[in-house]
Amino acid sequence: MKSHVQLSSHTTPTLIPFHKPFVYSSGATFPLPRLKQAWRQIRINKLIKSKSFSGSIKAIATSDEKSTRVKAVVTVKVIAGGLLSGLGLTGGLDKITDLFGKSILLELVSAELDPKTGLEKENIKGYASKVSQDDDEVKYNCEFEVGEDFGEIGAVLVENEHHTEMHLKTIALEGLLNGNLIINCNSWVSPKSEANVEKRVFFTDKSYLPSQTPNGLRRLREKELAILRGNGQGERKSSDRIFDYDVYNDLGDPDSNSALKRPVLGGKQHPYPRRCRTGRPRCKTDSTSETRSSDVYVPRDEAFSTVKSVTFSVKTVSSVLHALVPSLETAIIDTDLGFPYFTAIDSLFNEGVNLPPLSNNNGFLRNLLPRVIKFLNDTREDLLRFETPAIIERDKFSWFRDEEFSRQTLAGLNPCNIQLVTEWPLKSKLDPKVYGNPDSLITEEIIECEIKGFMTVQEALKQKKLFMLDYHDLLLPYVKKVREVKGTTLYGSRTLFFLTHEGTLRPLAIELTRPPMDGKPQWREVFTPTWNATGCWLWRLAKTHVLAHDSGVHQLVSHWLRTHCATEPYIIAANRQLSVIHPIFRLLHPHFRYTMEINALAREALINANGIIEASFSPAKYSIELSSAAYDLQWRFDHQALPADLISRGMAVEDPTAPHGLKLTIEDYPFANDGLILWDAIKQWVTDYVKHYYPDSALVDSDKELQAWWTEIRTVGHADKKDEPWWPKLKTVDDLVGILTTMIWVTSGHHSAVNFGQYDFAGYFPNRPTIARTNMPTEEPNDEELKFFLAKPEVVLLKCFPSQIQATKVMAVLDVLSTHSPEEEYIGAVIEGVWADNPVIKAAFERFSGKLKELEGVIDARNANRNLNNRSGAGVVPYELLKPFSVPGVTSMGVPNSISI
């Protein structure tokens, strides 16, 4: 149909249906309704004579051909402050644009080719005019007349006629007897006045494999992917939508201070996943490093901070880092000052710390952090006062006890590092010429003495009774380097546990090792629970070092590396290689939301040189380099799947007769018990979804977008691991289900298990100190130090703990990182709009959601079971980190869809 233009003084904008049947992604069809007899078309010369110029455009037929009047209702999101983001209602030019009715240009795109020419049909155009506005949304309407031979609408092109960006929420096409057709956009649209801005394409909510794409949409599908890939050139600006890769070369700041130079992570020397390319210029003093800026680029739709209050988290973290932390540093001038007494630690929760005037005088930060920032009306001062963490609220002395130390390896903040001891004697794999004797000092005699002859070590190994936290080989190469940094220290460590008949773990021994360095021989010592005063205090100090090691591995490996860092390449590859109408993109998209933005913030102020991590954790300036070493030594994609992870650590074996197909080595292992139910629910949902679109494996193997996505993840996003033999193949439906289930588990269940308990477990830092600042008194004791230790062992322990500034900064950050926003998007809670009209997918999602609601009840019942000693008991914090849903705030429960904090 040749479309013509008619100007009208009264019509409002709209979108359209057709007389071809709609085909659901399930394969089901329904006939489009016959609409009312089209009105006789007005000829162009008569229209011109009418001289009516509202700006609304109708496409009309030039003959007596029947047409349908279709209305498009465009919904634009209003930002949190009540003004349109980028619509600039306070700006004169955009007001005039809205007044004249030319706010948004829409073009309807047919999914079909013209049967006569074999080319794409001409789009039908119309201007949308503003019709209403409230606090949350602005509505624009547009009307079209569409000939019955136009075919099914496959997409809408959008051009923003304003001078600033807008956030387009939905386009609803009204006029269909069977209901509206809604296109879920949820995207920023730049103004056409910007350089090199092309019209945006928004496809309908129907999903297509590449080979099944309607002919009228093939070119648009490929063009949109080309735009998202970009050309790899130039510096990215905030409005760009380009996804590309780069190494981690932006953590240091050598131009401001040579001491802030950091190595590039990514490449042979320091293998690492890739991050999003920003294209910033290189540093003047170090051509391998990228210059830093306070506004780190992420593709525009990955940063919804002005639209969704879910990113209150990002704003809050940013405010803590840029306003609260500098105020703390002003309030606590002596960075080395520790806590003189344990009661001084308690005062953080009871009395608080007086803060100097905050940088924002309007109380914004105080309103943002009501849990920690208190306003004292009588003194007109701000007070930093922390909420008492759950672990101390229930039992003030739990952190002091060995049984709690052990219990938290299974049901605490880092439950994914405990492993079964399978080889004896324990032995390092490091080069003995560099690191000294590889044989452990933990002998059979020590173990058998500790278990009081209950069984031999060989019997304990056979019965799977010995477990270990092994940070020896990971940390030992960094001991010398870390010890050169003022105010911290490090050892390689091994901690051994024995599984009791009650199903709990009992600590047996801690071995701390210093390699040969500075002309001194290797030093190592084994510490055990004992019954004399000196031995007890040495044991407590040894535990402090192990806890600092575990805190570092938790934050740098279990949390940052395995979730945030490893996931970013999946997101970049998905946007570069999978069309937005690809069903797998739509499955993964909810689990990728906001991750790139929070990662960018982490590179800006958390993991950067002299950021929170470096300033407060034992590895100091080597912290992120240490996560690179862990990536090189330990990270495997196939082991990120929960069952494979458990098997690889000896915590489970395959057993087809057992629940989940696994038999746990420790039956009461809360992280594994709850996690496997969540894993199975995710896997069943993914299986139902994938089999709907891929009824046979040949479709998986021949899907060019899917294969390009998986290839790019392995060879570009994780390029330093591209030749590893353990990468799963992607040939069959089962292969695809396994890969997707792993990604969704990591971004939802695994991340929640290691993130949302941070404040309740580590807010009282003696339970999980992030740094050990002093060596063991027995390493190289002089008479004076030994005398002081024997006289005041409590003071020695306090000096080993984090300083006041380190503790308070970490506590403030952990409080925010553990918080659920009011609009958190929990897994299985709300169906995505693009699935709502597909009955097969909708039914599968409802089954998935039902299983997650069941999991809530299962977890409650387990926590009430007094036979499960690792999750219940006097003063014990119940294990709820994998309960799917939560109220807002710090709750130590709730599994969001994605890594959004």
Q: Active-site residue numbers?
A: 559, 564, 751, 755, 901
Q: Which residues contact 420 (CB under 8 A, 6 or more apart)?
A: 464, 466, 467, 468, 649, 650, 651, 665
* Rounded CA separation 408/402 (Å): 10
- Give the E-state strand segments of 439-534 in sequence order: 466-470, 492-499, 505-514, 523-527
Sign of CA dihedral 13, 18, 21, 25: negative
* Rounded CA separation 465/443 (Å): 16
DSSP state of 17: -
Task: Using DSSP, state whether 889 is helix, strand or coil.
Answer: strand
Task: Using DSSP, state whether 223 is helix, strand or coil.
Answer: helix
**Interhelix angle for 793-800 vs 783-791, to 10°?**
100
* Rounded CA separation 603/290 (Å): 12
Q: Would you say 891 and 820 are in contact if contact means Cβ atoms under 8 Å apart?
A: yes
Task: Using DSSP, state whether 120 is helix, strand or coil.
Answer: strand
Task: Using DSSP, state whether 468 is helix, strand or coil.
Answer: strand
* Rounded CA separation 480/815 (Å): 33
* Rounded CA separation 147/61 (Å): 7
Cis omega before residue 425 (within 30°)? yes
- Give the E-state strand segments of 794-842 in sequence order: 819-820
DSSP state of 68: E
Other Cβ atoms within 10 Å of 367 Cβ, number = 11
* Rounded CA separation 370/360 (Å): 15
Beta bridge partners of 29: 23
The values of phi and psi at residue 420, to 5°, are: -75, 140
DSSP state of 623: H
Number of helices (H) and strands (E), helices first, in the chain?
Answer: 31, 26
Q: Which residues contact 167 (CB under 8 A, 6 or more apart)?
A: 76, 77, 79, 85, 86, 186, 187, 188, 189, 306, 307
Burial of 778 (C-beta count, 10 Å sphere; 0-12/13-18/19+): middle
- Give the E-state strand segments of 500-655 in sequence order: 505-514, 523-527, 652-654
Q: Which residues contact 695 (CB under 8 A, 6 or more apart)?
A: none
* Rounded CA separation 852/430 (Å): 44
Q: Which residue has the tokens 């460590």?
A: 493
Alpha helices in 369-413 (DSSP H): 390-394, 402-411
Q: Which residues contact 684 (CB under 8 A, 6 or more apart)?
A: 847, 848, 851
Question: What would you report as the CA-atom Rg of the chain, rounded to the nearest whole angstrom?
Answer: 30
Structure-block tokens of residue 698: 């040949």
Burial of 311 (C-beta count, 10 Å sphere; 0-12/13-18/19+): buried
* Rounded CA separation 639/630 (Å): 14
Q: Which residue has the tokens 């959601």?
A: 849
* Rounded CA separation 215/659 (Å): 47
Other Cβ atoms within 10 Å of 820 Cβ, number = 24
Q: Which residue has the tokens 């002091």?
A: 400
